[in-house]
A and B are shown apart, each in its own frame.
Chain A
C-alpha cells in the first residue's frame, strides 16, 4: 500500500514570497490533516479535512495560509506572503475516517526555510 506522498521535500524562499505544498493521502482515506512542526516542538494541527469539507481550521492563520481539497483526494496548502516564523516542516497525514481512535499516517513532510 502506497503511503502519504508530499512534494516538494524542500523549499527555500524569501520572506513575502508565496509557496505551495501538495499532499496525496493514502488511497481511500477520507480524512486529511496538515500540521506545522517547528524545530523542537510537536506537530501543530493547521487544518483537518473530511473528504472535501473542513472539520477544523481553528489554528490556521487565515490571513496568510489557505488550504483546499477540491475533489476529496489530494490537497494543497499555500502560504502567501511567507514570514520568517513560517520556517518549519509541513506534515500531511491521513486516516480512514478521522475517528478519535484511528492511527494517523504521515507523509515525509516538506521542509520550508524562509530567509
Chain B
C-alpha cells in the first residue's frame, strides 16, 4: 500500500462545476499537509497548505480529517485554467515529504 493515495482520475468537468479530490495517508505521525499543482511538463508549485481547522483560498477549500487520515481539496466554479494535476503532499515531523501520484483535472468549455 502506498503511503499517500489519490484517485488518479482523470476528472473531466465543465466550466463552472464544483469538483472535489480526496487523498488518504497511512502514516499516523504525519504532521503537515499540502496541495501542489503541476501543469503539463512543468514543475510542481504550492497551491495551498492544509490546516486542521480547514482553510479557504478563493475558490479553493482544503480540509483535513486526522482521525480518518485523509485530506480533501474542493474547487468551486472551475475555470479552464484549473486544468492540471493536483498532488497531495504529506510531511512527517522530520520534514520528509511524500507525494501522491496526483489527480488529473480537465475543465472543458
Contact = CB atoms under 8 A, between A and B. Distances in A.
A43 B99 contact: yes
B99 A100 contact: no
A16 B73 CA distance: 43
Contacts of B4: 42
B15 interface: no
Contacts, number: 55
A111 to B, nearest CB: 8
Interface stretch (A17-25, A62-70, A72-80, A101-109): A101-109
A41 B95 contact: no
Nearest to A50: B95
- Please report whether the interface of chain A is mostly helix, strand, loop or mixed according to DSSP: loop
A98 B34 CA distance: 15
Nearest to B44: A106
B46 A100 contact: no
Contact of B91 (A41, A101, A108): A101
A16 B97 CA distance: 30
A103 B101 contact: no
Nearest to B91: A100
A68 to B, nearest CB: 20
B73 to A, nearest CB: 15
B55 interface: no
A100 B92 contact: yes
A33 B98 CA distance: 12
A56 interface: yes
Contact of A107 (B34, B43, B49, B99): B43
A100 B43 contact: no
Interface of A: 31, 33, 35, 40-45, 48, 55-56, 91, 98-104, 106-109
Given A55-B94, A100-B92, A108-B42, 8 more contacts: A41-B101, A45-B96, A55-B95, A98-B95, A100-B32, A101-B49, A101-B91, A103-B46
12 contacts: A41-B102, A42-B4, A45-B96, A48-B95, A91-B43, A98-B95, A100-B92, A101-B31, A101-B49, A104-B97, A106-B44, A108-B43
